[in-house]
Amino acid sequence: MAQPPAAKPRTGLRLMHVHAHPDDESSKGAASTAKYVAEGVDVHVATCTGGERGSVLNAKMDRPEVWENITEIRREEMHRARDILGIRQDWLGFVDSGWPEGDPKPPLPEGCFALVPLEEATERLVRLIRDFRPHVLTTYDERGGYPHPDHVRCHEVSVAAYHAAGDPERFPDAGEPWQPLKLYYHHGWSWAKTNALHEAMLAHDLESPYTERLATWEREPEWDDRITTRVPCGDFFGVRDQALLAHATQIDPDGMWFAIPREIQQKVWPTEDYELVHSQVESTLPEDDLFAGIPTPAP
């Protein structure tokens, strides 16, 4: 008689990532996402904007018909990446602010995400949090990971929603209160990680894509020291790469994202790194698990 499939060990736990644009969920934390999905965690991505003003960064996709349909194409790319990662995903419905260029920089477009009142954007995210009821919420640091106005706004909205979601006096019409137990910032590229991968490439007589970047890097050891949690997920780098490639307008398969062989990445830096910012439970630092201190709910 066939045996029923074994229950995944972490079924009942829920994780929400809040990202600014489609493709961010695949370039930031995607391997740890895939690891948790494989373990039974229910993972939800909230995408703040549609990425409508994003550049086409893959030369093979830089075509008139792509630009004419960029909103629909980026939505389709997100749906493919979502299926590859095995996640749920919702759009907050705001409009991409674009990357302002020039000196001085021009004003942001009217009605864009970065200019939406904080309370309005926070309420939309609170509704999702109260509906999905995540145990853990992740987002960007106060610099946005990099200073795109949507990334900075995503940070502000995520932190505000984390604190408001459990407060019955805040947004009383946005669902039953739910307090996530932990809030993390994603830390993608520390100096230590970048330098370790650079040195490994040179040791294998390969050209490093980080030579110029490291030469001008102004180190901030206190910033890198903020990392508290390193999630081992090297076995899922392949899933991450497939999710990245789903965003064909944004990711050049011949570009820097894939310049370092996966085997080197898995050996040299097999984790994705986070900063525990706020916790309602006790856990010992450093951690190797976003759910440290949170018991798996009984089936």
Binding-site sequence positions: 21, 24, 151
Number of Cβ within a 10 Å radius of residue 177? 17
Residue of 237, 271, 273 whose CA lies nearest to 257 = 237
Q: Is residue 285 packed enough to be buried (19+ CB in 10 Å), middle (13-18) or exposed (0-12)?
A: exposed
Q: Binding site for Zn(2+): what residues are annotated?
A: 21, 24, 151
Cα separation, 144 vs 114, in Å, equals: 12
Residue of 295, 239, 227 whose CA lies nearest to 266 = 239
Residue of 55, 49, 48 whose CA lies nearest to 100 = 55
Cα separation, 202 vs 207, in Å, equals: 6
- Edge-to-edge strand ranges of the sheet holding 182-187: 88-94, 42-49, 14-19, 136-139, 182-187, 271-279, 229-232
Number of Cβ within a 10 Å radius of residue 167? 12
